[in-house]
């Protein structure tokens, strides 16, 4: 089976991206007609189509459409999904940052399928971002779509703008935390963080 190029997301002008990459290659003094670069504008445009496919996605609606009323005994006190791999692109230098997300929420009346949380993270991460806002937007989408008692989002990521340029700290990572509701308290946050860090069975 032949792999077809991905369909560009709505709003991404692939032809303009290709033209911009061509101009960029010329601006840095290289020859975009040489063998190694002839397909680079197309490749970058397709890559950007993937990287920025979350633009225009309503993250709260994505959550709400997956929400289902919980039967008695199904709610639980805290639901934690951890070690969710994600990638995003830093809006300051358009370099990728890669990491893992840990999400905890305390349901009120509804729950979501566990696969919705990685899809939510991917949608919000697939747009020009900064890590601090990424965590806040994930938390806000869960609050808007679920109305839970509490939400906690922890992101741990390695940034290309730190590892590959400037200070070049190849092993450095950045950790951010966004909390809502019951996890805004010291005790609630500590409980969720203990679950995230607990040993695997």
pLDDT at 2: 44
Q: Above 70 in pLDDT, residue 41?
A: yes
Residue 37 burial (CB count, 10 A): 15
Check whether domain 14-51 has CATH 1.10.286.10, yes or no: yes
Q: Which residues of 74-94 are buried (b: 16+ CB within 10 A; e: fewer)?
A: ebeebbbbeebebebbbeeee
pLDDT digits (tens, 9 = 90+) for 139-178: 999 999 999 999 999 999 999 988 888 888 888 899 999 9
> What are the two backbone dihedrals, phi and then psi, of residue 147, each rounded to the nearest 5 degrees?
50, 50
pLDDT at 149: 94
Domain range summary for the chain, segments of one domain joined by +: 14-51, 59-197
Q: Above 70 in pLDDT, residue 9?
A: no
Q: Structure tokens of 144? A: 């808007």
Per-residue pLDDT band for 10 (boundaries 50, 70, 90) equals low
- What's the CATH class of domain 59-197? alpha beta
pLDDT at 165: 82
- Residues that are catalytic: 90-93, 131, 159, 161
Beta bridge partners of 96: 89
pLDDT at 7: 53
pLDDT at 76: 75
pLDDT digits (tens, 9 = 90+) for 42-72: 999 999 999 999 999 999 999 999 999 987 7
* Most distant CA atoms of the chain, gap in Å: 66
Identify which has the larger pLDDT, 113 or 7.
113
Q: What is the DSSP string of 66-129?
A: T-EEPPTT-S-S-EEEEEEEEEEEETTT--EEEEEEEEEEE-SSEE--TTHHHHHHHHHHSSEE
pLDDT at 75: 74
What is the percent of the chain with per-residue pLDDT over 70, rounded to a whole number? 95
């Amino acid at each position: 089976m032949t792999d077809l190029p991905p369909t560009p997301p709505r709003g991404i002008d692939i032809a303009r991206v290709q033209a911009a990459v061509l101009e960029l290659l010329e601006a840095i003094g290289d020859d975009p007609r040489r063998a190694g670069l002839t397909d680079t504008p197309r490749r970058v445009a397709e890559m950007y189509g993937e990287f920025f496919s979350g633009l225009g996605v309503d993250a709260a609606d994505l959550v709400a459409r997956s929400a289902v009323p919980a039967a008695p005994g199904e709610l639980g006190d805290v639901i934690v999904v951890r070690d969710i791999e994600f990638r995003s692109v830093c809006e300051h230098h358009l370099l990728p940052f890669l990491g893992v997300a840990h999400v905890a929420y305390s349901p009120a009346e509804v729950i979501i399928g566990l696969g919705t949380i990685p899809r939510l993270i991917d949608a919000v991460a697939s747009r020009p971002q900064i890590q601090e806002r990424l965590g806040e937007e994930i938390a806000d989408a869960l609050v808007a779509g679920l109305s839970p008692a509490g939400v906690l989002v922890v992101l741990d990521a390695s940034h290309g703008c730190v590892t590959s340029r400037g200070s070049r700290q190849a092993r450095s990572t950045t950790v951010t935390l966004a909390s809502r509701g019951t996890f805004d308290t010291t005790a609630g946050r500590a409980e969720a963080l203990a679950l995230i860090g607990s040993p695997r069975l």
